Amino acid sequence: MNFDINNLLRENIKNLVPYSSARDEFKGHANIFLDANENSLGSPLTKWYNRYPDPLQWKVKEKLSAIKGVAPEHIFLGNGSDECIDILYRAFCNPGKDNVIICPPTYGMYEVSANINDVELRRARLLDDFQLDLIHLENLVDANTKIIWLCSPNNPSGNALNREDVETVLNNFPGLVVIDEAYINFSRYRSFIPELQEYPNLVVMQTLSKAWGLAGLRLGMAFAGKAIIEIYNRVKPPYNINQSTQELVLKALDEVGQVNDMIKLIVQMREGLALALTKLPLVEKVYPSDANFLLVKVADAGAIYNYLLEKGIVVRNRSKVELCEGCLRITVGTEKENKDLIKNLESFIGN
């Protein structure tokens, strides 16, 4: 399989002269910054917020590099994974001409972003066990297929995709293969990050929104070969990660131990919650999970969803999603929240 990024890129992106910011053009040491039209007097907040942030977030990338075992030049940071997704569409997919493939049921933004960018979406539905249908996938690929989106562990099913299947896709598809590993920290299976060396068409996405507990800061990560990262950097808005996010993330990244403790606890609680749910007569099936949520098939998803809402508990009703008929998706909560959930589900039985 021959991968040539120039065969994939849109013509306008190949020829793009990116915006050059004041902070891009000046490298070195200075005391007086009169180059970026900032407010030199300061701000109503802590002093340094009057300055534009590092456009390429090198300090954050260096810390992430040590944690993930990837060189900083192989990392792109986005305003959430959603930005990492959207930029790939804008850089690689010609509106009204190219297509991408998703494997539903899966994370909704691959489809929304395709629609925003006027890119045709093809669906290779997962098999009944939520694994890839490789034959269907292969049949959907044509000369205009630019991206295959894989999500592992998958949302909303919670399972990891079989590694050999993902490798088959990587070995045979000459376009980009994106593996969204938003939930990888909760999984028994390894990340595909070490495979970046072998597959120049691979993009691995992760996020600080899940295991790291930083959904409010909006930091998504894409790991890929230098050629793909260079395209990401050309297309992104100049200052896409704000200063306070960069600072807070730098602090948080020192706390790997604390995050690992949370992950262990969440995985333990996931298993406890699964067991408690299984014992309820209204629960027909709890699907095995490698994530921080459970897909749960219940007797009457709509009624239970509404009943829980009345009790002030919000879960995700996935019962209208293909292969998830009758299912609720339930995030693992705190010990007390999980107990409250079970208690309320027990009282539904008595209704």
Ligand X SMILES: Cc1ncc(COP(=O)(O)O)c(C=O)c1O
Residue 50 lies near ligand X (rule: CB under 6 A): no
Pull the structure tokens for residue 231.
């395209």
Neighbour-count burial for 221-260, b at 16+ CB within 10 Å, e otherwise: bbbbbeebbebbbebbebebbebebbbbbeebbeeeeebe
User: Which residues 6+ apart lie within 8 Å of 123 measured at CB?
Assistant: 101, 102, 103, 104, 140
Does 130 sit near ligand X (CB under 6 A)?
no
Q: Does 180 bind ligand X (CB under 6 A)?
A: yes
Would you count residue 67 as binding ligand X (CB under 6 A)? no
**161 touches ligand X (CB under 6 A):** no
Shortest approach of ligand X to residue 320 CB, angstroms?
A: 18
| Angle between helix 243-252 and helix 58-68 axes, rounded to 10 deg | 30
Structure tokens at 2: 């021959």
81 contributes a contact to ligand X by CB under 6 A: yes
Q: Which is nearer to ligand X, 50 or 209 (CB)?
A: 209
| Residue 80 touches ligand X, criterion: CB under 6 A | yes
- Residue of minimal CB distance from ligand X? 80
CB 99 within 8 A of CB 146: yes
CB hemisphere CA count around 41 (13 angstroms): 2
Q: Please choose, out of 33-41, 48-56, 78-86, 238-246, the segment that lies near ligand X by the rule CB under 6 A.
A: 78-86
β-pair type (145-151, 120-123): unpaired
Which one of the spans 3-11, 76-84, 168-176, 307-315 is the region binding ligand X (CB under 6 A)? Answer: 76-84
The residues in 14-33 that bind ligand X, with binding defined as CB under 6 A, are: none
> Which token pair is 116?
């925003």
Q: Is 107 in the site for ligand X (CB under 6 A)?
A: yes
CB-based contacts of 292, cutoff 8 Å, min separation 6:
183, 186, 210, 211, 266, 270, 331, 332
If one asks whether residue 245 binds ligand X (CB under 6 A), the answer comes out as no
Q: How far is the CB of 176 from ligand X (least distance, A)?
A: 16
Member of 220, 259, 274, 301 binding ligand X (CB under 6 A): 220
* Stretch of 75-83, 127-135, 164-172, 264-272 lying at the interface with ligand X (CB under 6 A): 75-83
Q: Is 155 among the residues that bind ligand X (CB under 6 A)?
A: yes
Contact at 8 Å (CB) between 153 and 183? Answer: yes
Q: Least separation, in Å, of the C-beta of 290 and ligand X? A: 12
* Residue number with CB closer to ligand X (211 or 228): 211
Q: What share of the chain is helix, strand, coil (3-state, %, to 5)?
A: 40, 15, 45
Smaller CB separation from ligand X, 81 or 201: 81
Q: Count the site residues for ligand X by CB under 6 A.
A: 12
Going by C-alpha positions, the residue among 63, 27, 33, 70 that lies closest to residue 48 is 33
Compute the C-alpha angle 118/120/123, nearest 5°. Answer: 140
166 binds ligand X (CB under 6 A): no
Site residues, ligand X (CB under 6 A):
80-82, 107, 151, 155, 180, 182, 207, 209, 215, 220
